[in-house]
Structure 1
Amino acid sequence: MTAFARVPARADVIIVGGGFMGAATAFFLRTHGLSVILLERDLVGQAASGTNFGNVRRQGRYLPQLPLSNRSREIWGRLPELIGEDAEFLPAGHILVTTSEEDGARLEQYARDCKPWGLDLTMMTGDQARAMFPMVGPDIRAVSYSPHDGHANPRLAAPAFGRAARRAGARVVEQAEVVSIDRNSEDFTVETADGNRYHAPLLQISSGAWGRAMAATFEEDVPMAPQGPQMGVTEPLPYRIHPVIGSASSVTEEGVYLRQVKRGNIVFGGGRRSTADLATKRARLDPMNTLRQMPYLARLVPAMARLRVIRTWSGVEGYVQDSLPIMGPSDRIPGLFYAFGFCGHGFQLGPGVGATMAELIATGRTDIPLDPFHVSRFQRTVPTHTAP
């Protein structure tokens, strides 16, 4: 055998897609003792997992998603002991603010509804919030405060789990573009562009916005479209904005959010999303959207009006028609699992998704309710979810 011969590789599980969900699943599968091959087309965490806003929030989520979100928050709190890195997670709190009475009433209703799901929120008037958070603008009338949420660095999180998975014994293969997936009576066979083939009886598709095409090869289509969120970062100023601040407005253009990192820069995003192209792996950056964001950001924090924007960016994300992810087993193919389409709100869920999918794959069960996210829901009528 020459040094250049391609050797088939086999494991208990193959994961296609090395974003946050895939890398975290690979790590947790190793804690269950299963062998894992993680295939990533580019670099681990390079796509949406590394270009998002970095929000680690629970409030505002679809209520049946809170058990998963709560599990994930618990894992975020012990990342250093678990994987040896903290991904710059700051549990500095998260506040949703509004300038309208109608949106304020919706926040109050959500605060009541989420309590049985294990999330306690504090409602404040604008004056009460400004006493606690002096940077909040004078137009803010109502605030919902989640003290244990926060933010982290998306450029660090998925790669950290990828490194931890490799240290735990997973085979992590980067620059491995998948060109075909086949299944016989025993195994899935995944072939990559370099001609290598990988075999396993179990397969998880975690390829983000590209997950729809892969699921469709197994005759499970998902109404999902690629889009690009619009984000930017300002010049630094003294660190004083501790919580993440987001608008709870029901008006798309007003739905902006921001956070300050300890280096002083303010990261922001929200408003309209742009188009994205799966073939080129690029999302269109719209400079006009940055201009539209600024007055709404200044309404949240007036100091934003005086800051220079030093960089803007976007990334390719998959948005499912009902704004909920695809997560759980295939409805048609034994041994096939999905974890993709997190609609721009998957970063906080990453560790919990990994732990839950690994548990499901390794044991056949999980206590986290996944039925609302099952791919089979598109065979029946499901109400569209709109988060506060």
Structure 2
Amino acid sequence: MGPVPDPVTSDTAHPAKTDVVVIGGGIIGTSTALELAERGISVVLCEKGTIAAEQSSRNWGWVRKMGRDPRELPLIIESLRLFENLNARTGAETGFAKSGILYTCADEAEVARNEAWLEHARPYQLDTRMLSAAETAKLLPGMGTKFAGGLYTASDGRAEPQKAAPAVARAAQAKGAVILQNCAVRGIERSGGRISGVVTERGRIDCAGVVLAGGAWSNLFCGNLGIDLPQLKVMNSVLRTEPLSGLPETNTWSAKYAFRKRLDGGYTVADGDANDVEIVPNTFRYFTKFMPAMRSQWKALRIHLSGAFLNEWNTPRQWQLDQVTPFERLRILDPAPNRKATEGALQSLIAAHPGFAGAKVAQHWAGMIDVTPDAVPVISPVESLPGFIIATGFSGHGFGIGPGAGKLAADLVTNARPVVDPSAFRLSRFFDGSKIELIGGI
């Protein structure tokens, strides 16, 4: 069972009409709803399960510019600016802190790879810098492992995944947004070639705009509309410890482990590289588009063939709006964690830093990450369906970029001037002959 997000009380009335419907109650969907509500635009957020029950509460909690694809940098810079004021904006604790983030370098080859990323980031004038071996050791007191150096960004930080999206959702409610949990959207209705409404399991809502922030479910939802969204799911497993004292405050990544301090005094720990990938029908459907990612990340992928193939094969890809949908049959993706990976990460961390030897594991969990072929999100209008905006495929980078992505999605659905140039996030890049490539770190 996954971590328990802070609770959000659903609104009881099912509105007959609104300006915009947001589908999905993770950090992207709630941030979009808050942006719209603050602008005086009526918005209903529909979540098939509960707010932040999936990957938005299950991620590492890192809020980073460092190591990102350069296409994401303008948006994460804006998102970090929003995170700095998020407690005041929501009137709640989100756990945001500028703790700094460090990527350790085991050898000179890793130093060179990080220096290459710095060249990509140089135009953005970040405070990221390379550390010497001595500077890296100073930042990690008590660490037994000696590193060749590190890539460090002091202004990067952390926040609490179980708190952030719920805080944003409650703030959106306070500004007039309607939050409907356990209310799946079955599909979209059109009139004159444009969106005219959505049909939920509870009834119809008239609207002119829809933002799909459905995470790992987005491909399935789009397929029923005849929209091709190249997307696969990747599972990452995490553990948290009971509170510990006297250990590093800086979020730290190494190949065999990654850790960050939690607001409760414990630590979130995960394998620094490895993710689990199930072979499913979509694996073959999008094999060609994902080949660059497969070649680049092959060593970090644990590929399996299991019951997930048949589960996806037997999941309907088409349905009528008066039928029960897959979103109602399975409300929350709650995969069993790979405990071998999490326990191995903790043991590697203990071997590197003896101070973690007394760590008591409080919980293991896993989450399903929505990935695109180039590991860059889709935040984009759909030309064939005016009024429909997709905001998904954040590829494990979504928590930190969430507030900025919500702002951009709100701009696009209202035809406002976008906060950043959205062209890098267009859906059409996967079909217009653009080169699919991965740039950046983890």
* TM-score under structure 2 length normalisation: 0.80
Give the equivalent residue in structure 1 for 2:92: 85
Give the equivalent residue in structure 1 for 2:117: 110
1:377 aligns with 2:432: no
**Hey, which bits of structure 1, 4+ residues long, moved more than 3 A?**
275-280, 298-302
The alignment's C-alpha RMSD in Å is: 2.1
What is the Cα deviation at residue 318 of structure 1?
A: 1.1
What is the Cα deviation at residue 34 of structure 1?
A: 1.1
Decide whether the 8 Å contact of 1:239 with 1:261 is kept in 2: no
Distance in 1 between residues matched to 2:411 and 2:436, nearest whole Å: 28
Alignment of 1:199-278 (within 5 A): 199-247=206-254, 249=255, 254=256, 256-270=257-271, 271-275=273-277
Decide whether the 8 Å contact of 1:111 with 1:120 is kept in 2: no
Distance in 1 between residues matched to 2:149 and 2:113, nearest whole Å: 10
1:329 aligns with 2:378: no
Distance in 2 between residues matched to 1:17 and 1:275, nearest whole Å: 23
Distance in 1 between residues matched to 2:172 and 2:252, nearest whole Å: 33
Query: Structure 1: where are the runs of 5+ without partners?
Result: 1-5
Distance in 1 between residues matched to 2:60 and 2:392, nearest whole Å: 18
Distance in 2 between residues matched to 1:360 and 1:118, nearest whole Å: 27
What is the Cα deviation at residue 354 of structure 1?
A: 1.2
Which whole-Å deviations, capped at 9, do the CAs of 1:78-97 have from their partners, x for residues lacking one?
11221212301111111111
Decide whether the 8 Å contact of 2:269 with 2:342 is kept in 1: no
SS, match of residue 264 in structure 1:
coil
1:311 aligns with 2:363: yes
Choose which of 132, 157, 162 in structure 2 pairs with 1:155: 162
Alignment of 1:57-68 (within 5 A): 57-68=64-75
* TM-score under structure 1 length normalisation: 0.91
1:98 aligns with 2:118: no
Choose which of 132, 151, 172 in structure 2 pairs with 1:125: 132
Length, aligned pairs only = 376
* More displaced stretch, 347-356 vs 127-136: 127-136
SS, match of residue 318 in structure 1:
strand
Decide whether the 8 Å contact of 1:275 with 1:283 is kept in 2: no
Distance in 2 between residues matched to 1:300 and 1:67, nearest whole Å: 35
Give the equivalent residue in structure 1 for 2:197: 189
What is the Cα deviation at residue 55 of structure 1?
A: 0.7
Decide whether the 8 Å contact of 2:388 with 2:413 is kept in 1: no
Give the equivalent residue in structure 2 for 1:294: 346
Q: What amino acid does structure 2 have at the position aligned with 1:261? A: R
SS, match of residue 37 in structure 1:
strand
Decide whether the 8 Å contact of 2:160 with 2:262 is kept in 1: no
Choose which of 407, 416, 432 in structure 2 pairs with 1:355: 407
Distance in 2 between residues matched to 1:305 and 1:384, nearest whole Å: 40
Compared CA separation, residues 139 and 299, structure 1 to 2 (3 A): farther
Distance in 2 between residues matched to 1:303 and 1:261, nearest whole Å: 16
Distance in 2 between residues matched to 1:322 and 1:22, nearest whole Å: 22
Which whole-Å deviations, capped at 9, do the CAs of 1:343-376 have from their partners, x for residues lacking one?
1111000111111221222234314122222111
Distance in 1 between residues matched to 2:15 and 2:263, nearest whole Å: 47
Compared CA separation, residues 71 and 27, structure 1 to 2 (3 A): same
Distance in 1 between residues matched to 2:266 and 2:14, nearest whole Å: 48
Q: What amino acid does structure 1 have at the position aligned with 2:275? A: R
Give the equivalent residue in structure 2 for 1:39: 46
Distance in 1 between residues matched to 2:204 and 2:277, nearest whole Å: 34
Which whole-Å deviations, capped at 9, do the CAs of 1:150-178 have from their partners, x for residues lacking one?
11110011111110111000111111012
Decide whether the 8 Å contact of 2:237 with 2:339 is kept in 1: no
What is the Cα deviation at residue 239 of structure 1?
A: 4.3
Decide whether the 8 Å contact of 1:92 with 1:150 is kept in 2: yes
Query: Structure 2: where are the runs of 5+ without partners?
Result: 1-12, 279-307, 313-325
1:11 aligns with 2:13: no
Decide whether the 8 Å contact of 2:137 with 2:146 is kept in 1: no
Distance in 2 between residues matched to 1:349 and 1:334, nearest whole Å: 25
